[in-house]
Amino acid sequence: MTDYNVSAVDLFCGIGGLSYGFKEAGINIKAGIDFDNTCKYAFEANCGSRFIHADVSKVKSSEVLDMFDNDDIKVLVGCAPCQPFSTYTLKGDKQKDSRWRLLYEFSRIIKDVKPDIVSMENVPNLLKFKKEPVFHNFVKELEEYGYHVWYDIVFSPDYGIPQKRKRLVLLASKKGKIELIKPTHTPEEYISVRKAIGNLEKISSGEASKKDFIHKASKISEKNLKRIRQSIPGGSWSRDWDEDLKLDCHKTTKGQTYVSVYGRMEWDKPSPTMTTFCTGIGNGRFGHPEQDRAISLREAAILQSFPQSYKFTDKKENLKFGQVSRQIGNAVPPKLGEVIGISIMKHLKEMKKNV
């Protein structure tokens, strides 16, 4: 799309969702940096680049600059851990959670490295945090550094991602105005659960496919099997279950607000947002639409828009179910990464025309 050699360094890279999407868009991935060393195999196996196990707050800007060599266009991306800004922790004391300050560390590196393009993805709640307006401070600093900044809340199904995930996406460029490409899908074209995972092999609770050991479902108890058998896709435990199956905690006023737990997904709609606990039926509407189980690791990954061939561990014996579930839930959907990458390449092409 351009005559530029465009390369990126991915801070907080995780298992490589964003980097993989960038690679698909034609951007060279120089390296990924993350504090969680369990992500190393998946990042390197799928993104074909170097994983650096490090705390970004301790990474020197000069080290990041050296990763770029003499590339024409430098892209720096950073999707800091979103847990401090999630719905569940928004009311907590952020002074006790150092992770939310990682956005300031990102700003420090940007100031020193001076990349041509900056991108960030995070939870929408980052906009709401008033006590310490970290995101708004971040935008202000980018503008002071000479960047044109765009950001908005993105609804994932608008870009072909089969889940109802909303994310805050930011793009910034020193070369001129930049923005995300227009939505690629209308509501009538949204990718449904059926289209995403309907072709996968049937498995039971606690089983794994013999063809793909990542297509494995967690084991659920006999009582939970009874519960999911009474669950209707898109329904609720409060309407669908016999009284003896209902949990005491859900009968309270607060508990009655959690209507989606133990629920089944609907075949012909995008899935709920994937979380780190999306492979357990007690954590949300994560039941398979037909089969009496929670969605498998592979199904969760596909609903995150990872290709079915994505590697999470080298062999069956090394699979740690909870670890991979967490990694998938924490990841940037690769398709969203590709959309961001395409937006960057489109921007550079337009800027080149205007020179």
In the set 13, 47, 79, 82, the catalytic residue is: 82
Per the CB < 8 A criterion, the answer to whether 128 and 91 are in contact is no
Q: Is 82 a catalytic residue?
A: yes
Q: Rounded to whole angstroms, how far apart are CA atoms 119 and 121?
A: 7
Q: Rounded to whole angstroms, how far apart are CA atoms 344 and 178?
A: 8
Q: Which of 125, 164, 157, 333 is nearest to 260 (CA)?
A: 164
What amino acid positions are annotated as catalytic residues? 82
